[in-house]
Amino acid sequence: MADTVQAEAKTAEQKPVREIPEPASRAMTWTDGKETIDYVATAEYMAVHQDDGKLIGQMFALSYVSDLEDKTDRPVTFLWNGGPGGASMMVNIGGMGPRRIAPDGMNALPCPTQPEDNPYTLLPSSDLVFIDAFGTGYSYVDDDYDPKKVWGVDGDGDAFARGIAQWLSTHDRWNSPLYLYGESYGTMRNAVVMRILGERGIGVTGVIEQSTILDYAPTLAGNEFYYMGMVPVYAATANYFGKAGKGVDQYEWFDKACEFVNHRLGGALVNSDTITPEEERAVAEEMAELTALPLDLILRNHLRIELDTFRKAIMADEGLVTGRYDTRFTEPAYMDVQGDNEFFAGEDPSMDAINSPYQTAWMKLVQETGFKGSPNYVNLSFKVNEGWNWTHQAPGTMGSPQTPNVAYDFATALRRNPKARIAVFGGIHDAATPYWNVRHDFSKLFLPEALASRIEFHVHSNGHMLYSDEEALKGMAPEIKAFYEKRHEA
């Protein structure tokens, strides 16, 4: 018995103890040459607990708070990327934080690239809090807590709602206008967090969706909505490279492709082999005109073109393949010996162009606050991604399918909070979360006009990462500013 007690004591002594760095802050100044804002940048850990007080883990936040004394009407926006398994670094240093890495068209950025004051930051409209999901960035789950409880649609939403409440308490910002900003999977998180916060008495003033995915069914192999959503992206890409719609405005060509999907392609896909060869060929000819893909390729695949097939085909005559996050980016095609499909699907020149410059510059910003964090910042955790629990029971539905649809969470949250607003931003070159699909997802909610009018849609030239497109940022900036000002309207 004594030996057992001693062994347990020895084990307890050997258990590593995580050192939690103290919060670190630095006074800084932002300017766009016309306006100047003094603010404090703070890097800190937030202890997040269950209702019974059990520690879930430490959530990392990097916040930027203006020095205005009266913050009664000063919004606080909580921002994150997606993945799932992605930290919040990119949406910060890319385009919404007070400092950014400026894009260079479709060119890869050098590393290192020095950050600059960001003319398109949200800081003039709101204080900003960038939070890393558990298991990503600097955030971590406590050793005595099961990470599976937070690595999933519902557990993740619950954890973020708790993290937001903790930040509001720590920084004395209860009753400030509260906004959520998510990119990619972060837009799905937005819907769940908005609903959960409302259920806990925390009202959300506005939600900003960048590169949105709400319904995961179109990600399943063979789903018709997948092929429908991709065609407008293919058409916009062909137009960009001068292979289709020459002389036609990019948005006009994109809209034309959306109309084709809605009124021609959709019916042909649903009816499958019950349409005649002549009918299929007629639809294929229209699709070939819009996307510049070979007619025989479209016919062989019965109107169903996978993204990787398009990426390899559209610029094949120049020995190039295109990106996934942004289909305008290109890189030399791989040799057949490197033709593994899984490998190719993960290769993306639009990510390669920005990833390293973003991360090294972001690490410098954190270092400047004086925060003593680990050098191992996990920008994208495949462990989290591969261990994700996709089950989610949408409010008012039966069962918990493995392919969640959180559009109903938004609809429920809006019914409960009809003063809230949602702004949806999409890009015509985004093949990761196609814009056609999110418009379709919201249209299926059949919301009454009083609620539907609280949702606004904006489409720009960008791919998945809006902040890597200067033209899109310029177009988005006044729309975002106007969205925040609408909190003063009825």
By residue count, the chain amounts to 490
DSSP of 152-186: BHHHHHHHHHHHHHHHHHHTT-TTS-EEEEEEEHH
pLDDT tens sequence across 69-93? 888 999 999 999 999 999 999 999 9
Q: How confident is the model at residue 13 (pLDDT cuts 50, 70, 90)?
A: low
The phi-psi region of residue 434 (left if phi > 0; otherwise alpha if psi is between -120 and 50; otherwise beta) is: beta
Judge whether residue 127 has pLDDT over 50: yes
Cis peptide preceding 84, ω within 30 of 0: yes
CB atoms inside a 10 Å sphere around CB 372: 12
User: Is residue 378 a contact partner of residue 136, using CB atoms and an 8 Å limit?
Assistant: yes
DSSP of 240-257: HTTSSSTTS-HHHHHHHH
Please give the pLDDT value at position 185: 97
Rounded average pLDDT over 441-445: 96
Amino acid at the residue 92: N
pLDDT tens sequence across 384-430? 999 999 999 889 888 788 899 999 999 999 999 999 999 999 999 99
Domains of the chain plus CATH, in order, are 20-217+355-488 (3.40.50.1820), 223-303 (no CATH)
User: Is residue 423 a contact partner of residue 180, using CB atoms and an 8 Å limit?
Assistant: no
Judge whether residue 11 has pLDDT over 80: no
Q: How confident is the model at residue 162 (pLDDT cuts 50, 70, 90)?
A: very high
**Hey, which residues does 312 pair with through a beta bridge?**
none
Closest residue by Cα to residue 224 from 293, 171, 270? 270
Give the DSSP letter of residue 424.
E
Judge whether residue 293 has pLDDT over 70: yes
Closest residue by Cα to residue 229 from 187, 269, 264, 258? 258
Q: How confident is the model at residue 12 (pLDDT cuts 50, 70, 90)?
A: very low
Rounded average pLDDT over 353-375: 91
Least confident of 327-341, 418-432, 465-479: 327-341
Task: Please provide the average confidence, as pLDDT, over all residues in the chain.
Answer: 93
Please give the pLDDT value at position 3: 55
pLDDT tens sequence across 231-248? 999 999 999 999 999 999
CA dist., res. 211 & res. 379, Å (int): 18
User: Is residue 253 a contact partner of residue 289, using CB atoms and an 8 Å limit?
Assistant: no
Please give the pLDDT value at position 344: 78
Element (H, E) at 43: strand 36-49
Please give the pLDDT value at position 342: 78
Judge whether residue 346 has pLDDT over 80: no
CA dist., res. 54 & res. 73, Å (int): 34
pLDDT tens sequence across 130-144? 999 999 999 999 999
Q: Give the three-class secondary structure for 263.
A: helix
Judge whether residue 18 has pLDDT over 90: no
CA distances from 476 to 94, 320, 410, 466, 480 (A): 14, 30, 22, 9, 6
Closest residue by Cα to residue 78 from 205, 237, 261? 205
